[in-house]
């Protein structure tokens, strides 16, 4: 559910966190951050390695928070300059991918001869002095090199740091398994007990772990590449027109109102309105629509789109972080920092799983020694296998990886998801309420008819209504004002003005009290509508919106305003219905108009003449009955309902208040994206559930197999690797 738009958001900072390997790491970092005074909440994402921290009015300092994270055994730092422009992820993952590739080469290069020596050792031994020892001694030396290389040292250091800070994690489990196997091999080598030396076990574990981390990092890198590619495609310079001349300037220096020239095959640098020229504009980067849109003077173009044919001059309307591309990047970053309910549960489980795994390994060792005659060597192998196979890495990756891919894919489709919780909630929606004006209709109404009541003229009714509504931002008011100006009417400055959201206005014009608005509003304002009822009824039956004008509580005219249905409204409602989502209209317009529009679109449930508080009440009632409800709207009067719904959905062209209250924003006024929202959300939730199931199932099934000796330590490392990779690859299916 969205936050109340009237509540000021707390200050927020984001930190890069390194050294996390599993869900238990995430839980410890969050606890360390939340222990600092001034911290309201902390969300740490394992996949993006980013901590998002909400701070109170007297916040903890950035250095304090970094010290807290380092005190928990992890490294932290601020984002480097420029990271925000590429989501702060691709640079990190590209560098780590290169490091992990080098570590993998070293791991395979050193582990391979160790494993080969282990299998051919009986053939290499001789009766000469030391002839039976040197194959194992060679394995020991190679293992020592492997432990000190980039394939082994970071894991051992991470495990030692976790031990010192008493924060058990995946590195600690792997370090214990590798160290125990290596030390046991050295002890056997020194004491002359050469049977069952475990050097190859340590080498296999490190080889598989490094292979798994390489594949995992490569998958992480690919999840961020699509959105990073959007950010990278933005130009660094633009051509600003000054005094008739085009001057090349950095994009960072563009301000609102600047005039920019955009030529063929050039990326539009900011959001703007075309003031000269025509062009075919490719908006596939931000809407997913592959066919270029023909644009002319007055049309809006968004940052990140490409002029495929033509030459245009635009006036910048939104720049930098406020542009379409800036909002896409920011929305993806923010969405990936918030956890779903399922992820919070998984993190709590993973946070206690490592100590439990160590306990099970110790119990396996003691049980095998005390109750069987298999000997210390077998008991140790089983304990090492339990340590390795029990790593909860897959649990930690299950949800954040899916959320990252889903929000990135949504952004490619022109859908900005505020947080992961909204994605989870959208997947459960079975009921969706849609506002009429600006949502199901184009939101650009025009005056169709003026019925004069009494002795006033058509022009005087329009002048009176337009003068009273000059300060209203409602689309119907804008239509009345436009019609009055087209008729040559000179507007009068009202001496007083008051409005009721979604209902109408009252103003003092030329000494007269003028009411303009819905029939219900005027009726409640003690205006007698008897003489106007026939006109109101006839206009409403045709599906038009009706605005009644009264002077000194006497009706003087009725204005019919037509608002055409969106071309994609009928198809969108039909598609939602096919997805099992029931649709209802909720509007402040009169009953007749609302019913006429609903019939054309195919909506059966209609709530008309609803004020903002009425819309809020309907949404809250449905939610109280256990229904998962979404609300789609674009106006100031829709903000309470947007905030109260399980999922609030609006458009980028909506009012700032509506955008601030909504959980999901559709970049363009494309109602057909509602079906994409529901489908993507449901697939995301389904894949998250699959990931969590397989992660838990893997650990539950694998630990008994390792404890009973069915899975040896080396293969345990391979199984653990495969579980993590399977989770990541399953999440990557969301990209299609």
Question: Which strand ranges, in their side-by-side order, compose the sheet holding 39-45?
Answer: 39-45, 50-55, 11-18, 75-77
The burial of 608, by beta-carbon neighbours within 10 Å (0-12 exposed, 13-18 middle, 19 or more buried), is given as buried
Host H or E run for residue 239: strand 237-242
DSSP string, 249-265: EEGGG--TT-EEEE-TT
The burial of 689, by beta-carbon neighbours within 10 Å (0-12 exposed, 13-18 middle, 19 or more buried), is given as middle
Evaluate whether 670 touches 428 at the Cβ level (below 8 Å): no
Q: State how far the Cα of 664 lies from the Cα of 331, in Å rounded to an integer.
A: 9
Neighbours of 241 (CB within 10 A): 17
The burial of 486, by beta-carbon neighbours within 10 Å (0-12 exposed, 13-18 middle, 19 or more buried), is given as exposed
The half-sphere exposure of 620 on its side-chain side, counting CA atoms within 13 A, is 10
Distances (CA, A) of 176 to 205, 307, 717: 11, 58, 13
B/e letters for 442-474, b = 16+ CB within 10 Å, e = fewer, are bbebebbbbbbbeebebebbbbbbbbbbbebeb
Neighbours of 6 (CB within 10 A): 11
**Cα angle: 483, vertex 539, 543; to 5 degrees:** 95
**Residue holding tokens 């058509």?**
458
**Cα angle: 239, vertex 304, 279; to 5 degrees:** 65
Q: State how far the Cα of 714 lies from the Cα of 201, in Å rounded to an integer.
A: 5
**Residue holding tokens 């559709």?**
666
Q: If we measure between CA atoms, which residue out of 666, 662, 676 comes closest to residue 581?
A: 676
Evaluate whether 588 touches 609 at the Cβ level (below 8 Å): yes
Who's near 70: CB < 8 A, 6+ residues apart?
76
Q: State how far the Cα of 23 lies from the Cα of 691, in Å rounded to an integer.
A: 14
Evaluate whether 302 touches 11 at the Cβ level (below 8 Å): no
Evaluate whether 206 touches 111 at the Cβ level (below 8 Å): yes
Backbone angles phi, psi at 256, to 5 degrees: -60, 135
Q: Looking at 258, 435, 638, 669, which residue is catalytic?
A: 435
Tokens of 246: 């085009």
Q: State how far the Cα of 545 lies from the Cα of 129, in Å rounded to an integer.
A: 103
Q: What is the chain's alpha carbon radius of gyration, rounded to the nearest angstrom?
A: 33
Q: State how far the Cα of 262 lies from the Cα of 260, in Å rounded to an integer.
A: 6
DSSP state of 663: S
Who's near 356: CB < 8 A, 6+ residues apart?
none
Q: If we measure between CA atoms, which residue out of 385, 215, 210 comes closest to residue 727?
A: 215
Q: State how far the Cα of 161 lies from the Cα of 498, in Å rounded to an integer.
A: 65
Neighbours of 52 (CB within 10 A): 21
**Cα dihedral across residues 22, 160, 107, 126: positive or negative:** negative
Q: State how far the Cα of 494 lies from the Cα of 514, in Å rounded to an integer.
A: 10
Among this protein's residues, is 435 annotated catalytic?
yes
> Between β-strands 237-242 and 259-262, what pairing exists: parallel, antiparallel or unpaired?
antiparallel
Who's near 231: CB < 8 A, 6+ residues apart?
85, 86, 87, 325, 329
How many residues does this entry show for the chain? 736
Positions annotated as catalytic residues are 435
């Amino acid at each position: 559910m969205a936050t109340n738009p009237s509540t000021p958001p707390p200050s927020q900072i984001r930190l890069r966190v390194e050294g996390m390997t599993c869900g238990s790491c995430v839980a410890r970092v969050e606890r360390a951050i939340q222990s600092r005074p001034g911290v309201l909440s902390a969300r740490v994402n394992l996949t993006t390695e980013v901590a998002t921290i909400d701070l109170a009015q007297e916040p903890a300092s950035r250095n304090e928070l970094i010290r807290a994270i380092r005190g928990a055994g992890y490294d932290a730092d601020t984002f480097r300059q420029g990271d925000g422009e590429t989501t702060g992820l691709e640079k990190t993952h590209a560098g780590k991918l290169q490091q992990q590739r080098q570590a993998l080469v070293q791991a395979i290069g050193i582990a391979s001869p160790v494993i080969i020596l282990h299998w051919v050792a009986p053939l290499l031994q001789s009766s000469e002095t030391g002839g039976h020892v040197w194959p194992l001694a060679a394995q020991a030396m190679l293992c020592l090199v492997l432990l000190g290389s980039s394939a082994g040292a970071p894991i051992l250091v991470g495990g030692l740091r976790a031990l010192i800070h008493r924060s058990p994690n995946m590195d600690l489990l792997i370090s214990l398994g590798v160290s125990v196997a290596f030390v046991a091999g050295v002890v056997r080598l020194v004491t002359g007990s050469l049977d069952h030396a475990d050097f190859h076990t340590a080498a296999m574990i490190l080889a598989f772990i490094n292979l798994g981390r390489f594949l995992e990092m490569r998958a992480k890198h690919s999840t961020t590449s699509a959105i990073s590619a959007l950010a990278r495609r933005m130009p660094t310079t633009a051509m600003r027109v000054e005094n008739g001349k085009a001057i090349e300037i950095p994009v960072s220096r563009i301000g609102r109102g600047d005039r920019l020239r955009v030529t063929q095959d050039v990326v539009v640098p900011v959001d703007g309105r075309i003031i000269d020229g025509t062009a075919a504009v490719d908006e596939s980067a931000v809407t997913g629509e592959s066919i270029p849109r023909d644009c002319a003077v007055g049309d809006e173009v968004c940052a990140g789109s490409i002029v495929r044919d033509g030459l245009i001059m635009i006036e910048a309307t939104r720049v930098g972080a406020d542009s379409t591309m800036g909002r896409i990047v920011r929305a993806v970053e923010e969405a990936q920092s918030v956890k779903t309910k399922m992820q919070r549960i998984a993190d709590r489980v993973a946070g206690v799983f490592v100590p439990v795994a160590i306990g099970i390994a110790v119990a396996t060792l003691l049980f095998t020694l005390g109750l069987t005659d298999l000997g210390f060597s077998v008991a140790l192998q089983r304990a090492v296998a339990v340590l390795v196979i029990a790593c909860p890495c897959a649990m930690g990756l299950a949800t954040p990886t899916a959320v990252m891919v889903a929000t990135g894919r949504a952004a490619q489709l022109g859908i900005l998801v505020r947080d992961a919780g909204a994605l989870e909630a959208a997947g459960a929606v079975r009921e969706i309420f849609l506002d009429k004006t600006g949502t199901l209709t184009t939101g650009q109404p025009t005056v169709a008819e003026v019925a004069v009541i009494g002795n006033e003229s058509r022009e005087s009714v329009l002048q009176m209504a337009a003068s009273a509504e000059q300060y209203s931002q409602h689309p119907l008011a804008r239509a009345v004002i436009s019609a009055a100006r087209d008729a040559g009417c000179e507007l009068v400055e009202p001496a007083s003005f008051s409005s009721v959201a979604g209902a109408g206005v009252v103003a003092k014009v030329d000494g007269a009290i003028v009411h303009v608005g819905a029939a219900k509003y005027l009726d409640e304002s003690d205006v007698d509508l008897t003489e106007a009822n026939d006109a109101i009824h006839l206009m409403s039956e045709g599906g038009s919106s009706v605005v009644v004008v009264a002077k000194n509580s006497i009706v003087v005219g009725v204005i019919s305003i037509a608002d055409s249905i969106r071309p994609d409204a009928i198809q969108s409602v039909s598609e939602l219905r096919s997805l099992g989502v029931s649709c209802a209209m909720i509007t402040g317009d009169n009953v007749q108009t609302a019913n006429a529009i609903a019939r054309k679109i195919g909506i059966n449930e209609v709530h008309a003449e609803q004020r903002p508080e009425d819309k809020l009440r309907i949404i809250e009632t449905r939610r109280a009955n256990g229904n998962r409800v979404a609300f789609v709207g674009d106006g100031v009067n829709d903000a309470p309902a947007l905030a109260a719904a399980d999922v609030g959905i609006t458009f980028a062209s909506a009012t700032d208040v509506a955008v601030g209250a909504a959980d999901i924003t559709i970049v363009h006024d494309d109602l057909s994206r509602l079906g994409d929202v529901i489908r993507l959300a449901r697939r995301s939730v389904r894949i998250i559930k699959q990931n969590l199931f397989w992660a838990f199932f893997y650990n539950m099934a694998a630990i008994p197999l390792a404890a009973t000796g069915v899975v040896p330590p080396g293969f345990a490392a391979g199984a653990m690797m495969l579980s993590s990779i399977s989770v990541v690859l399953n999440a990557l299916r969301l990209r299609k």
